[in-house]
A and B are shown apart, each in its own frame.
Chain A
């Protein structure tokens, strides 16, 4: 018996070799590391606790090829996706590759860097922080991004600098003949007392199959304030597996909001690591899914030091055959006293064939803490529907309005007006569809 047993790894679903032609030494080092990890990391199965409920067929039944072989279509006019507040603070990546023509970065304070990482490969912040906090133990997705990325968004804020305009990272995915993969990457380094708002968007321009595996790394030093919105509007045929991670220092504030609207399969594992005392962070999410969409969020709020506030509000609306999964962990390490952490997961199940799994999880090793979570799965309140109905709205309209109100809370926390508007339009589109 000399048969070699074919291991099921990420590579089983990739056509051809993963190649990166990055010039930067720092990036190449990460590429190599990722490649090594990929060969030995098994592809997740339902037997893995973290992948128990999710159906990965959207990935498994395809073979994804690199973009250069996919015959990707042109981008066309994308100006409608520009944010008026961020006209000159915008980076555009098409299928994971930096597009200088569409990007515009002329409106930045001194010494702030917003650009393609391959041009800043020698920057100290890149050398020091790229790929250092991402969690590689879990599965093959972060290593896959590591192995394949060439271009990446790099944002660097020196001490006591604040960027007033929101920084818009626009990831576009075009139509293509073949299913392709893309590995957008974002590294943010905010030095002491810096401040910025980042809008990270993923937009599928057509209704095609692709695999989007982004990794974002946020390193916030003492007193830095960051507002990070992630808006996922991938093609409804696409699979999107995200690995956003943030590590924050004393007095830093990191508020992240993930809005899931698109993709057939969305898996998001946000993680915030408290790296010093006295921090404040948010890991919010809004998921609006229908059809046969699957959205799975596995978040970790990792409290390693004393005195921290954290908050999570994860709202989900499920319609048709859609399936939502939520697993939110709150960790409190030994000696991380005086942590105040609250997690809330609200699910609205609208259809007979929809499905919701939720598992809010507390793992507490310190005694003087206040940690709580609440999770609900429910339907629209009949009395509320009746109330609106009695005020002259049709029943249909009443229901739409109530779903809209349910989603509103998450949308209102967006600090950028045009983003808020855009999301409200999306919510209306979701609630009033036929």
Chain B
């Protein structure tokens, strides 16, 4: 037993693989936040007036709000006055090819194993790579344009497609939705914008890799995906961050809109720096992600593999407004060392015959705390709706904790909600059984964990599933007892 724990501990002790920084010059911008700073930021980004107004309004809304404390995590609050709200690699002349991209940046991507170049092209994935805050390279644009798909950075969308941005931005996550969404609305730097026109199947998987690369720079991404009637899209997001001791805040907002018969699949792998053994450093990941199934028969599916960040507060949600719409949430959250994760989902059933599925797997090791917090709500008019939720937790070691806070409510007698949750450990008998068959302890544990999370990982697109499996093994190497 104790040896197993030791093996486990050594696995947990795996150093952060992606802890390096890149030297890129940054434009000067004062630290802190105020109306002037928000205006200045908007000006530098050359934004139209309506956008500036939007930001300023959001800033004042944020000013009035209080930082929430209801979650099951404790951390040192970020000093908002000491953050840098604007950072962008120095302006370069317009890029014609990959060769024009800053070699440092390219190297960074290569270290991260992002095949931005030909491999990616062969893989058929368009990449909108966000380095810190501003998009530096976008590929496959032409192929997407052929299909009529708009896939660009948020800044470009504000310039080129203001009517779409105006119509949908903040329509799913209102500015005042929460403290962090208000802050994001005021100072968001950039992000991805994606619009799939009517009856179009997006010809390739869309993905964004972004990483936090500037000490003290808050990252405020803003992503908006709109799927018109009968369209479908699969979007991948993955991130790693360099190792820093200073805590870094990441408060992104992701909004998804699915109209009639549209289908959006959003997958995430999150592996930001989680701090060291003693909880020093690491990223604060306070993300607001929400999708709305606005149309009939629409579907939104969230899949996430959360392994990084010192503190994660994240609840990808679906509002099931259209009749017969479907919401899905598949999640694996792994916490080790001193990590704290409070994550889950919300499924708000408003339309008739709406269905939602929640599969959440939490693995806590080391001295970490892992909480599932979810809400399933069946509205009065959501006749014939169904929800099925499972949240299983696995504990590894004696100093971690696993918690479940599922809020369930129903106001409709023709609907049904089922929720179940379990907490357990990796069974010694299971390990024994596998070892007896000649499998090493390490592999046995890895197998059992893979089995535990299989239901979720199989939902990831293939390119990600491989990466996800690797990541899990690295994270939990030497963990289980």
Contacts and interface: CB of A to CB of B under 8 A. Distances in A.
A376 B425 contact: no
A334 interface: yes
B423 A359 contact: no
Contact of A358 (B401, B409, B411, B416): B409
Contacts of B415: 377-379
B400 interface: yes
Nearest to A373: B421
B199 interface: no
A187 to B, nearest CB: 33
Given A360-B406, A364-B423, A373-B420, A350 B413 contact: yes
Given A349-B412, A367-B395, A359 B407 contact: yes
A352 B380 contact: yes
A387 interface: no
A377 B416 CA distance: 5
B403 A364 contact: yes
Contacts of A334: 398-399
A13 to B, nearest CB: 28
A365 interface: yes
Contact of B401 (A352, A365, A373, A376): A365
Contact of B410 (A356, A368, A369): A356
A99 interface: no
B393 interface: yes
A337 to B, nearest CB: 8
Interface string A398-414: 00000000000000000
A357 B410 CA distance: 7
Interface residues of A, number: 36
B422 A355 contact: no
Interface in A334-389: 334-335, 347, 349-379
B177 interface: no
A349 B409 CA distance: 11
B413 A351 contact: yes
Contact of B404 (A352, A353, A356, A362): A362
A49 interface: yes
A229 B434 CA distance: 47
A360 B421 CA distance: 9
Contact of A377 (B417, B422, B424, B425): B417
A157 B420 CA distance: 40
B414 interface: yes
A364 B404 CA distance: 9
Given A350-B413, A357-B407, A362-B393, A367 B425 contact: yes
A372 B406 CA distance: 13
Contacts of A377: 378, 408-410, 415-417
A347 B419 CA distance: 12
Nearest to A363: B403
Nearest to B383: A352
Contacts of B406: 359-361, 375
Contact of B70 (A49, A364, A366): A49
A374 B391 CA distance: 10
Contact of A379 (B395, B414, B421): B414
A369 B404 contact: no
Interface band, chain B? 35 or more
A162 to B, nearest CB: 36
A349 B385 CA distance: 13
B409 A372 contact: no
A399 B130 CA distance: 59
Interface in B308-349: none
Contact of A367 (B70, B396, B410): B396
Contacts of A49: 70
Nearest to B391: A362
A335 B397 CA distance: 11
Nearest to B380: A352
Nearest to B416: A378
B418 interface: yes
Contact of A354 (B405, B413, B418): B413
B402 interface: yes
B422 A372 contact: yes
Contacts of B423: 362, 364, 369-372
A359 B405 contact: yes
Contacts of A364: 393, 395, 401-403, 423
A402 to B, nearest CB: 14
Interface in A42-64: 49, 53
Contacts of B397: 367
A366 B416 contact: no
A353 B381 CA distance: 11
Nearest to A376: B418
B413 to A, nearest CB: 5
A113 B373 CA distance: 47
A369 B407 contact: no
Nearest to B409: A357
Nearest to A370: B424
Given A366-B398, A368-B425, A370-B424, A375 B412 contact: no
A376 B398 CA distance: 31
A370 B410 CA distance: 28
A297 to B, nearest CB: 14
A177 to B, nearest CB: 38
A354 B399 CA distance: 42
B402 to A, nearest CB: 5
Contacts of A335: 398
Interface string B1-22: 0000000000000000000000
Interface in B102-135: none
Contact of A375 (B398, B400, B419): B419
B378 to A, nearest CB: 7
Nearest first, the 3 closest Cβ-Cβ pairs linking A and B are A367-B395, A378-B416, A372-B422
19 contacts: A349-B412, A349-B413, A352-B412, A352-B413, A353-B411, A355-B410, A356-B408, A357-B408, A358-B409, A362-B404, A363-B403, A364-B393, A365-B401, A369-B423, A369-B424, A370-B422, A371-B424, A372-B420, A378-B415
Given A355-B409, A369-B395, A373-B419, 18 more contacts: A49-B70, A334-B398, A352-B413, A353-B411, A354-B411, A354-B413, A361-B403, A362-B403, A362-B423, A363-B404, A367-B395, A370-B422, A372-B420, A372-B422, A373-B404, A376-B416, A377-B415, A379-B413
